[in-house]
Structure 1
Amino acid sequence: MIEVYSWATPNGHKVHIMLEECGLPYRAIPVDIGAGDQFKPGFLAISPNNKIPAIVDPEGPDGKPYSLFESGAILLYLAGKTGRFLPEDTRGKYDVLQWLMFQMGGVGPMLGQAHHFRIYAPEKLPYAVERYTNEARRLYGVMDRRLARSTYLGGPQYSIADIAVFPWLRSWKNQGIDWNDFPHLKGWFDEIAARPAVQRGVEVLADRRKPLTDDRARQTLFGDIQYQRGR
């Protein structure tokens, strides 16, 4: 059984959804990032960047336990392990991979910054709020135009690109998005949200997550504690 060290965040949900879609048995081990669990030695041994998620597969590529961090790498690993959600043909595979990289390099980091400056920053900085809200809208526009001519982000079939992007768009309201501006993306979003495996995946550890309201948790995630622990 695969062990998933995770929390109820978009990056965590990517892996939860993939495991549910693939039907792989797994056990979710909560890593409370507000309480600082990500700095514990046991977790750092498998995730040296102190970020969730990470997995331990007792039946790795050589039949021995194998640990892996970075959500995009985990999606690729699970796709390779199961032969699902990544096309075998070269053209189809790279069509999916470029949209997976789009999520890893654009959607995740930029929407994360939009969340931070719109919701969590102790001081509302108009320049930062405008900068990242505009970038969120730009990225939504890129995806909307893609989905105007493609059933899914990576092509005609549902893939790890869709699995990677979807959890980040669940907080569209916090990102300053009006769905009326992105009808093709909204149709895709509703279709993905209706998948039973997706619905199960986003519920994993959801009951453990609490609103980020206390100063200690904010310092752990965004402030001095994060950087002191990182040294």
Structure 2
Amino acid sequence: MRADLAHVRNWIFDLDNTLYPARVSLFPQIDVRMREYIMRLTGADADEAHRIQKDYYFGHGTTLAGLMANHGIDPHEYLDFVHDVDLDVLEHDAALVSAIARLPGRKLVFTNGDAPYAARVLDRIGLGGTFEAVHDIHATGYRPKPDPHAYLGLCEAYAVAPAESLFVEDLARNLRPAKAIGMTTVWVDNGSEQPPECVDRSFVDHITNDLGRWLEEILEETA
């Protein structure tokens, strides 16, 4: 592996808007379902539900965490509802599948979603069976990224050494805790909505707007 990545033994990937491009507009479907859930829960109109959803998302890391903290909802029921979306917008990404298959070492998914939804997405884009494990929101004890506890829990659960790990994310703020414990960080800057206050990028080691191409480039350099 090229010098700056020769230490990587663990390749850790976020799921949504990272292993598929944000332009396919899958996550906007989930956004709509989240607002519908909040409207049913609180009686708010669409505009107020949108405000609540964004406040919880930016303030708690996920809308789910905010709803659990403020309304005591059942996370399983909520996740089943918001993940009831059309995955036909996703496409098999042959280049990404090939590149990830060629990566040396362990491969894991680290998501604020849940494992059943992740499995459906991975199957759809051709990555089913590729990853050793999916570390999901249930596994974090509902303390989502960017809570440092979530990252430490991942490392403990799978005996992952942070200094030998690379983490890929579309939300830049979720890379800060990874960098703090010694991981190499890759930001997929592909148009995902970023928190308005998150302008610091000092914790980002690599930036790409095309993950598959970036992986192919680092693999070609080491062939």
Give TM-score, length-normalised by structure 1: 0.35
Give TM-score, length-normalised by structure 2: 0.36
